[in-house]
A and B are shown apart, each in its own frame.
Chain A
Amino acid sequence: DGGITQSPKYLFRKEGQNVTLSCEQNLNHDAMYWYRQDPGQGLRLIYYSQIVNDFQKGDIAEGYSVSREKKESFPLTVTSAQKNPTAFYLCASSVQTASNQPQHFGDGTRLSIL
């Protein structure tokens, strides 16, 4: 079955610790995205990547880093510089950036601070 897999489903971070959220897709999509959702708010774009070895900052990139070494994978690292990391993180992918094809989402990772 084609889809987007995010792991882990729940993650806890200690103060001063970096954590990495995994996102893998087998849809052969070129573009991948990371969003953050906070209670009562819409999804906000953290980073996106249109092609392997290339990525751009979204609206709230501070305190986060990404890599895109493989087409299938787009991991997100929440660094200790992110002062309010508690949120629901969603990864998405799409065929390509300039097309009328929707983004498809994974089931998310909920990150909490210990």
Chain B
Amino acid sequence: DQQVKQNSPSLSVQEGRISILNCDYTNSMFDYFLWYKKYPAEGPTFLISISSIKDKNEDGRFTVFLNKSAKHLSLHIVPSQPGDSAVYFCAAREYGNKLVFGAGTILRVKS
């Protein structure tokens, strides 16, 4: 039973445009959400996070939005750059610091 779902396996975006990556979750006890970026044969790199008491967090080109009533979060990348091409994982925190990960979305930014 997947508690964190990323329903789009892949996304292709033109350079300079907005990339929107989506994530849905089922467990209302999750209190903290994170986005990680991963290149092939490397470990995930932390990108941005949001606490469940907020609905938006921004860091440069990256913004994460949280809609608790819909149990949905999204990552916006504006403007998208070719170097953003990677796999993006959404993760949600259970008790302690246990993370539950989605299956990932492959983002391709075309130049």
Contact = CB atoms under 8 A, between A and B. Distances in A.
A11 interface: no
Contacts of B36: 105
Contacts of B44: 43, 90, 105
Interface stretch (B14-22, B68-76, B93-101): B93-101
B43 interface: yes
Interface residues of A, number: 29
B43 A97 contact: no
A42 B6 CA distance: 10
Contacts of B89: 42-43
B43 A99 contact: no
B13 interface: no
A6 B44 CA distance: 13
A107 interface: yes
For B91, B97, B99, the residue with the greatest tally of chain A CB atoms inside 10 Å of its CB is B97
A98 B95 CA distance: 8
B99 A108 contact: no
B25 to A, nearest CB: 12
B81 interface: no
Interface string B31-50: 01010100001111110010
Contacts of B109: none
A104 B46 contact: yes
A90 B41 CA distance: 10
B102 A48 contact: no
B97 A97 contact: yes
27 contacts: A31-B97, A40-B103, A42-B6, A42-B89, A42-B103, A42-B104, A43-B44, A43-B91, A43-B99, A45-B98, A45-B99, A48-B98, A90-B44, A92-B43, A94-B97, A98-B97, A100-B49, A100-B51, A102-B34, A102-B49, A103-B97, A105-B36, A105-B45, A107-B41, A107-B42, A107-B43, A108-B42
Interface of B: 4, 6, 9, 32, 34, 36, 41-46, 49, 51, 89, 91, 96-104
